[in-house]
């Protein structure tokens, strides 16, 4: 069995350990609806967008086929980066990552709508994939960090951040999308179970903020409406509070600039 190399995300659903049988049945139905929407609707959109806007060294590169494994309340997603004589693996990672970030944004936002609060992390590296068995450094890295944050949302592991930072240094003078662009990820002091740490965080509030703008509501109202449909088990209050605080910070500090830049690009065209 040959190891694969790629981008790996691990997502856990919060609160499932306390579910009754009826709750578990409802969760399975919600999870199936989530994966169906992500794979049949969102994945083709991102692949199509990737093909239109991404040209690497004059060669159009295909977006990798997503591989998913589900274990209980855990979803593992792999974007394998195959070897290609025409283009380096590093250049492909650089080109693919924004699409991965957008897919994860939509996963978290859609999960919130369906009543599934996803917490997870993203790593880059080698792993073994044999049917439903996934093992290796990238899987372990994603797993360890997916359990650390005291909220729902998706972080980049420190290893992933170092890898992408190295690419940033190498690709600084080339035409590429910056991985720390607020449209995809932002730096934030993430609340952990012990203290906090500055990490890259996937910009998951964007789809909800756009939904709010289209409906004439503030993003926070839209988020609150979805969260109010769920009960908050005692002892999990901090996860909700920390997530809402991040959302409010993003809405105030990051979102206006993102919209300004998008409108500026539309004006140029």
Q: Where are the domains of the chain?
A: 4-268
Average of pLDDT values for 127-145?
89
Q: Is the pLDDT reported for residue 53 higher than 70?
A: no
Name the band, by pLDDT with cuts 50, 70 and 90, for residue 91: confident
Average of pLDDT values for 157-171?
81
Would you state the pLDDT for residue 245?
Answer: 97
| Pairing of the two strands 185-191 and 133-135 | unpaired
Name the band, by pLDDT with cuts 50, 70 and 90, for residue 10: very high
Q: Is the pLDDT reported for residue 128 higher than 50?
A: yes
Name the band, by pLDDT with cuts 50, 70 and 90, for residue 93: confident
Q: Which residue has the tokens 């409906």?
A: 215
Rounded Cα distance between 161 and 93, Å, is: 13
pTM: 0.90
CATH topology assigned to domain 4-268: Alpha-Beta Plaits (3.30.70)
User: How many Cβ atoms sit within 10 Å of the Cβ of residue 28?
Assistant: 12
Q: Is the pLDDT reported for residue 175 higher than 60?
A: no
């Amino acid at each position: 069995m040959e190891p694969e190399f790629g981008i790996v995300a691990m997502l856990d659903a919060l609160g499932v350990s306390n579910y009754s049988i009826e709750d578990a049945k409802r969760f399975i139905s919600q999870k199936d609806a989530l994966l169906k929407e992500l794979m049949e609707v969102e994945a083709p959109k991102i692949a199509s967008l990737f093909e239109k806007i991404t040209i690497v060294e004059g060669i159009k590169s295909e977006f990798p086929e997503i591989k998913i494994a589900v274990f209980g309340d855990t979803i593992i997603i792999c974007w394998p980066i195959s070897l290609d004589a025409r283009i380096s693996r590093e250049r492909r990672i650089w080109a693919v990552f924004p699409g991965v970030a957008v897919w994860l944004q939509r996963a978290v936002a859609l999960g919130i709508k369906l009543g599934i609060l996803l917490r997870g992390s993203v790593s880059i590296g080698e792993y073994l994939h044999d049917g439903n068995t996934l093992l290796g450094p990238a899987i372990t890295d994603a797993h360890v960090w997916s359990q650390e944050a005291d909220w729902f949302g998706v972080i980049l592991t420190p290893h992933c951040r170092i890898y992408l930072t190295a690419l940033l240094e190498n690709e600084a003078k080339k035409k590429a999308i910056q991985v720390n662009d607020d449209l995809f990820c932002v730096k934030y002091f993430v609340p952990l179970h012990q203290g906090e740490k500055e990490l890259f965080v996937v910009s998951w509030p964007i789809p909800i903020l756009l939904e709010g703008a289209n409906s004439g509501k503030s993003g926070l109202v839209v988020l609150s409406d979805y969260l109010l449909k769920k009960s908050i088990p005692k002892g999990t209050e901090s996860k909700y509070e920390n997530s809402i605080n991040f959302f409010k910070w993003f809405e105030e500090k990051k979102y206006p600039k993102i919209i300004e830049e998008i409108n500026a690009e539309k004006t140029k065209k």
